Amino acid sequence: MQISIVDAFTRTPGLGNRAGVVLDSGGLDTPAMQRIAAATAASETAFVLSRPGDKAVRLRYFTPTREIDFCGHATVASFHLLSERGLLGRAGHFQLDCGAGTYDVELEPLEAGHSRVWIVTPQPPWRESPLPIEVVMSLLGGTVDMVDRSLPVLAGGHRIFVPLLRREDVWALAPRFEALVRAGQPHGIEGVFVFCRETKDASSVTHARNFVPGFGVAEDPVTGSAHGPLAEYLVNHGVLKLPEAGGLVRVRAEQGDAIGKPGRLELEVKGRPGALERARVGGAAVTVIEGSLRI
């Protein structure tokens, strides 16, 4: 089986978030895809099920232990590879078909033959955290004194979003992963996304870590699927300001530095105050390894 290893949300091999990509998935059943993902051992492996040249690209995503509906960095990796191989253009608008639904994807040309992949991400409804913040911080190996009380702790989809005050507190967390899984699963919670507004780069708006033990991923280096909702959250709670007459706001976010895998994401929100139209996540990628996997 031909497989590619692609690092997403970076242009430097070895940084960002690594994904496996199988371009020719015809004939593979679900157990075979799961075995390939386990052997690849990236946080996610994407399987391309559409025909070359199709405007709609159909993907399935697997962690080493289970299938998931959507993965941001594996989508960036897949569209990067399709474009690099000449199966898609360097620029243009496409559709992603996946377990979570159908979403718009744009390839934006960059210098030296590269492209940035922009993804409209799933936006699950927000709700109050089903776990008290004292419990969440204890499970993360932190304390409630670390929490930024000017912003709410909310759940979106299978994640709890927790704002912290300082970058050093984000880095200091040492979750009890099995306990986190046991506490979250009765409420549909598979992980916790923590972020702060104290950043490493002056051009960034947030610095984050993402723990997803319920999906078999202790810590995901750079998470596209969480940053789309985060962009919406930042607008909803006044951190980012949309033009009164409507328009765009674009900012940069950072993740992965705490585990030596720094990646950078572009966030875009379109709309006007009180009427968001869409949130997108953008990122570049680099192909690291091309080879054969014996299955």
Q: Which residues are catalytic?
A: 44
CA distance 38 to 153: 33
Matching residue, tokens 């006007």: 272
CA distance 5 to 18: 7
Task: Write the secondary structure of the chain as one string of H (helix), E (strand) and C (coil).
Answer: CEEEEEEECCCCCCCCEEEEEECCCCCCCHHHHHHHHHHHCCCEEEEECCCCCCCEEEEEEECCCCEECCCHHHHHHHHHHHHHCCCCCCCEEEEEEECCEEEEEEEEECHHHCEEEEEECCCCCEEECCCCHHHHHHHHCCCHHHECCCCCCEEECCEEEEEECCHHHHHHCCCCHHHHHHHHHHHCCCEEEEEECCCCCCCEEEEEEEEEHHHCEEEECCCHHHHHHHHHHHHHCCCCCCCCCCEEEEEEEEECHHHCCCEEEEEEEEEECCEEEEEEEEECEEEEEEEECCC
List, in order, residues 6 or more apart from 47 with CB less than 8 Å away. Answer: 22, 25, 28, 33, 36, 59, 60, 61, 62
Matching residue, tokens 């386990």: 38
